Amino acid sequence: MLFRAVSNISLAWDAVSGDTTLYGYEVLRSNSSGGPYSTVATVTTNAYTDSSVTGGATYYYVVRAVDLSFNRSGISNEVSGVAQLRKVNVTFNVTVPATTDATGFSVHIAGTLNLLDGSLPQWDPGATALTKIDSTHWSIMLTGNEGTQLEYKYTLGSWDFVEKGSACNEIANRQLALSYGTNGTQLQTDVVPNWRNVSPCGP
């Protein structure tokens, strides 16, 4: 039978025809060319999508037919595929202090944004502005690969106006791992208690 990889470790092959005893197919996978192979699925159609893979890794597959008595054919030719890293659209919604509006500054996000799409800078406090929703709510959507580990903070455009804790204390970098979930969209909701150099944490 002809066996071919379609995309994203989605597999398809020519169906066996004219065999009334056919039950389905076993899909076998290996981390190295030539095996050894382990069965990852038994399906009744001539296609399978392998979701239990690690992005960026290469996998090797063969398939064999199985009849109603679970007799097995020989294995097909081998194909390989590279698991693609899925894209995640992550929306950051942040609630900021009521004093923010009076500063006239825009809310920014800074951090390891260079790990995301769009050639964003790393830890630049004034480069990536959010969109103002209302006087205390700002938002931005960014895109990156599933599994990317981010660190970030909010600012008013410079480190002189970085977010502070409820007691005007320094706070640790925020952390977020991009997760594909069911549809590739992720929502991150944050609250900024105070800003440095903005009342009550400054003049």
Please say whether the beta carbons of 25 and 46 come within 8 A: yes
pLDDT tens for the 203 residues of the chain, in order? 444 433 468 899 999 888 889 999 999 999 999 999 999 999 999 999 988 887 778 999 999 999 999 999 999 999 999 887 788 999 999 999 999 999 999 999 999 999 999 999 999 999 999 999 999 999 999 999 888 999 999 999 999 999 999 999 999 999 999 988 888 899 999 999 999 999 999 87
The answer to pTM > 0.75 is no
Architecture of the 3-82 domain? Sandwich (2.60)
Tokens at residue 23, please?
Answer: 């039950």
- Domain ranges in the chain are 3-82, 87-195
CA distance 125 to 107: 10
**DSSP helix/strand/coil, 113:** helix
What does the CA dihedral 66, 70, 75, 80 come to, rounded to 10 degrees? 70
Question: In the CATH scheme, what is the homologous superfamily, with its name and number, of domain 87-195?
Answer: Immunoglobulins (2.60.40.10)
Domains 3-82 and 87-195 share a fold: yes
DSSP state of 162: B
